[in-house]
Structure formats: structure tokens, C-alpha cells
Amino acid sequence: MSEPTARRIAVAGAVADPVLREQVRSRAVELGLLGWVRLMEDGSLCVHAEGAASGIEELVGLLRSVDGVESVAERIVRLEGHEQFAVRGVMRSWAVPKGPSLDPAVKRFAAEVEDHSLEHNDFEGRTGRGGVIIWDRGTYEQGGRVPWPEALERGHAVFVLNGDKLRGGFALQRTRGGEKPQWLMVKRRDEHARPGSDVAAERPESVQSGRTLDDLLSDGSAIP
């Protein structure tokens, strides 16, 4: 048998119907592929497929044949080490009470919390426990040599952020397991590191509305 390969597939067009995601998952399982399919914020479909190249090519062929698909782009990526093919619609989440830091000497406590839906990315407003703003927004890439699922299971995950405020390499180090895992979030030493800085205090505003959390809580009005 040929060595397994991994490809990230971006599908643009009228692809938001959840039925399509289930069709992709079902066909991937039939082809013996591992990975995931996810609807992205911009309405495109992202597929991560691992397995035999012939099986991935068949899956790409299926995607190209779907009514409403405008384009299908694929690229080779590293294996993530999945055990099944799943439909993804939630985000792994951590709460960082003091906010992240760009100073490699600062270790920020991060509590792993329940997964959040993708819709959470667009919410700003009052909540029962206070309020929420979108402090930063961007994309992330896996870093290091260990695939993300395995890295998180081991308790040390390296990643690269491409945000408006947070950029460069970071690491999550688990310090306590159990039902309520605890981690430390640390900035890696690279060109984006800023020793002595406190980006959370320097840039408290929302990247979406420009308002701060204090603004929201002080007037109680909804953010447009």
C-alpha cells in the first residue's frame, strides 16, 4: 500500500447546506479516509483528508461535481493523525483571564473550557456573566512536528497565530489534567515577540466594533 498523504481542500460556491457536509463525511468513510469537513466563516467549505492519494482524488472529484460549486483548490499538508472522519462545527476553547502576552518571559494561565460553536466568533454584547467583545481575529497554523490532536493529548501544543494583534508562534502547556484541564499560554521567541509589552492593556478594543469591554459594561447597550 502507498504511504498516506494529507490534503487541505477549499471549496467555494453555494456549499453551506449541512447535507453536503454529511455527504462528504459519508463518502470519505467509504473511501477509507480520515480527517474532517468544516463550514468556514466566509461560507466556503474546508476539507482535511488523510489517506491514500487515490481516495483523496475521488473525494475531490465528488466535490467538483456538486451543483453550486464554483471552485475547488487543494494543497498538500502534513498528516494530523485523525482516527475518523468527522463533521466539525465547534472550536476547542481556552479562557485566558489576564489575556495573552507577546512577551516570551510571561506565562499566562489558560483554563480549557467547553467547546464553542463557530457562531460564537461573531458575537459581541452583554451576557449573564458580563459581556463579550471580539478582541482579536485571524487564522492559526499548526506548529512543531507533532500533529495537533496528538500534541493536545500529550499536553504540549505549538501553533502560529495570524491575527490583527497576536502574531507569531505560541505554545500551550498543560499543567493539570482531569475534568477541568489547566494550561499555560506562552509566546515563542520570534520576530513578533515584544519583551516587556502588555498587548491586552495596550490594545483593549474590539477588532470588530472598536469598543472596549469596559465601554460595553458601562452603558449596557448592545454593540451594533
pTM (2 d.p.) = 0.62
Tell me the per-residue pLDDT of 155-176, one tens digit each, with 9 for 90 and over: 999 999 999 999 999 999 999 9
Alpha-carbon span 78 to 142, nearest angstrom: 9
Compute the chain's Rg from CA coordinates. Answer: 20
pLDDT band, residue 59 (cuts 50/70/90): very high
CA distances from 122 to 133, 173, 215 (A): 9, 28, 18
Q: Which of 155, 160, 152 is nearest to 173 (CA)?
A: 155
* Tens-digit pLDDT profile for residues 100-128: 999 999 999 999 987 776 667 788 888 77
What lies within 8 Å, CB to CB, of 119 at 6+ separation is none
Domains of the chain with CATH codes: 5-88 (3.30.70.100), 90-219 (no CATH)
Are the C-beta atoms of residues 22 and 30 closer than 8 Å to each other? no
- CA nearest to 97, candidates 155, 171, 184, 214: 184
Beta-strand relationship, 34-39 and 85-88: parallel
Count Cβ atoms below 10 Å from residue 63 Cβ, excluding itself: 22
Cα–Cα distance, 144 to 158 (Å, whole number): 6
CA distance 101 to 111: 15
